[in-house]
Amino acid sequence: MHLILLLIILAAFVFGPQWWAGYTLRRYGRDLERIPGTGAELARHLLDRFDMSEVAVEKTEGGDHYDPNDRAVRLSAGNHDGRSLTAVAVATHEVGHAIQHHRGESMLAARTRLVAVAAGAQRVGSLALLAIPVVALATRSPAAGLLLGLVALGGMLLGALVHLVTLPVEFDASFGKAMPILQEGYIQPEDEPAVRRILRAAALTYVAASLASLLNLGRWFTILRR
């Protein structure tokens, strides 16, 4: 019974943020007649307004994000072409990151470096997982497999931890930048509670994905034990 309860708590911890973020973004993803432009059009307007005409607005299949290297706000198809509260809020959130970059805010520079560390750690973890059966077969040593398993776990945990550390940057993009901008007349007052939920979900997206990746680690260990 205690084991089942522990598994339920663990599943809630891993899946909860991702489920909530995805649900919130989908919930407000319906186009509304009162929204005059698409997410891409709003992003372009705001970038020009804040003297960032050199920053591109692009449609992507890789998830909504701001790329500081290519100077581009990249939006998923629904947020790029949509006229929903989600499209408006997410586009402004990503413009918030562009504003952080434009102003040379140290938080974003630190986040960019840390995200690179997280990506590297997760790659190392994935490679360690793939290497476990090969090394175990070659060395006939359970200790070698255990060591690689610990490396894999450490890499995945580090990736999740890094995204947790960068949460202040995400919340600044949502509530230090995007929300004040949207309150200047870009959204109706009655839409503010929903937009706050969307911006909170946008800020938590990376952490939610990192936590969910830990479940993949558990699946790999299950497969490798067979």
Q: Mind listing the pLDDT tens digit for each residue in 96-147?
A: 999 999 999 988 888 778 777 777 777 777 777 677 777 767 777 777 767 7
3 within domain boundaries: no
**Band of pLDDT at residue 6, cut at 50, 70 and 90:** low
128 within domain boundaries: yes
25 within domain boundaries: no
For residue 196, which of 101, 95, 93 has the smallest C-alpha distance?
93
Q: Which domain holds residue 97?
A: 33-225
18 within domain boundaries: no
* Exposure letters 55-92 (e unless 16+ CB within 10 A, then b): bebeebeeebbbbbeeebbbbbebbbebbbbbbbbbbb
Tell me the two tokens of residue 214.
Answer: 């830990």
Return the pLDDT at 56.
98
163 within domain boundaries: yes
27 within domain boundaries: no
Q: Mind listing the pLDDT tens digit for each residue in 149-187?
A: 777 777 777 776 776 777 889 999 999 999 999 999 999
* pTM, entire model: 0.77
What is the domain count for the chain? 1
Looking at 94, 105, 170, 190, which residue is catalytic? 94
Task: Decide if 94 is catalytic.
Answer: yes
160 within domain boundaries: yes
